[in-house]
Amino acid sequence: MAHNMKKYTVIGAVGVVVLFMLIWGGYVLFDYVFPRFFAPTDTALEQGVITEGRDIAVVASNLEVPWGLTFLPNGDMLVTERPGTLKRIDKETETVTTVDGVKHRGEGGLLGIALHPQFLENRYVYLYMTTEVEGGLRNRVMRYTYKNTTLQNPTPIIEDIPGAQFHDGGRIAFGPDEKLYITVGDALNTSAAQDPQKLNGSILRLNPDGSVPEGNPFDNPVYSYGHRNPQGLAWTENGQLWAIEHGNDAQDEVNVIEKGANYGWPVIRGNETQDNMRSPVRHSGADETWAPGGATFVNGELFFVGLRGQSVYEADVTDKEISQIKAHLRTEYGRLRSIVQGPEGGLYITTSNRDGRGRPTETDDRIIRIDSQVFEE
């Protein structure tokens, strides 16, 4: 069952992180600024069981709020750090690249990363980032040519997405149709999520060059709307898109994404229903918070990770339904942001314990590799 493990090292100095604390009133201050230094609430979720002799290893450490993770064709990792650094993690080469124009404030900064489906031919890397312009924060996706371990030829793919200190979304991924999908949070403008002509509170779909594909439902980049702060994207083997979304301090959601559908925020939450709005396939309930990050399908099972939930969640999926969700590794590694399946089949998970809401150890933040077979049936 065990796999041979590559020994990775992380090299390069982490740039200086400038921390901004803004005074927010009432709800926003409590829910987003105060660090959450407590263990996750017990839930009715079944506790996952790890097999004896589990293959779990820390493959990178001393990172600074890693967010996005992807693999180069040779197996090296590219990891974004929210303050604005792109790191290549491998066996030999020491590389660290500072991405120009990134504004790290609150939940914003350098977030998602994706490689073009024809990366071997064009060397294109896509990055989602928060920037500061006259009038405030904006999010955008940029395309670069990754050559000689540097980012060259910066090209805007989509710009001027309204940003905020919170709810910036940030996950990007190419789907099986080779279109670029982008999660965008409501940026604290809840009404925008109900307007498919606005970018906030939506999942976007673009051609790799940034143009709007044929078949989009609104003749603009919006593919689905009514989202609060989605941060996980994953496709089944038959090409069905699923998304994981932060709820309003609880009632985090797992959704099956359909073209043009309205997922209800801020009108409905949890099990609530309304005409022409979609309720989630599953949610965390009113008393439990996953604060979910990334997601991936492995052998038909949906895996996603939790920040406040501090767990790897495994959802048993049949068609478009979930029969149960198990929580693995609860609190063992702290806050978890991203989960990606590596080229050899292992699951790679990034921690987020230095984001101001966790309790970092001396070696945080880390990337943990888990053999995907360690979870018992």
CA distances, 175 to each of 102, 238, 313, 346, 353 (Å): 26, 11, 22, 20, 29
**349: CB partners within 8 A, 6+ apart:** 305, 312, 333, 336, 338, 339, 367, 368, 369, 370
Helix or strand (DSSP H, E) at 306 = strand 301-306
Tokens of 294: 């990334």
Which is catalytic among the residues 3, 104, 116, 167?
167
Class of residue 117 by CB neighbours under 10 A (exposed 0-12, middle 13-18, buried 19+):
middle
Which among 95, 97, 163, 153 has a CA at the least distance from the CA of 128?
163
Q: What would the DSSP string read from start to end of 51-118?
A: PTT--EEEEE-S-SSEEEEEE-TTS-EEEEETTTEEEEEBSS--EEEEPTT----TT-SEEEEEE-TT
Rounded CA separation 78/283 (Å): 31
**Dihedral, CA atoms, 295, 247, 283, 339, nearest 10 degrees?**
10
The answer to whether residue 328 is catalytic is no
The type of residue at 253 is: E
- The catalytic residue positions are 167
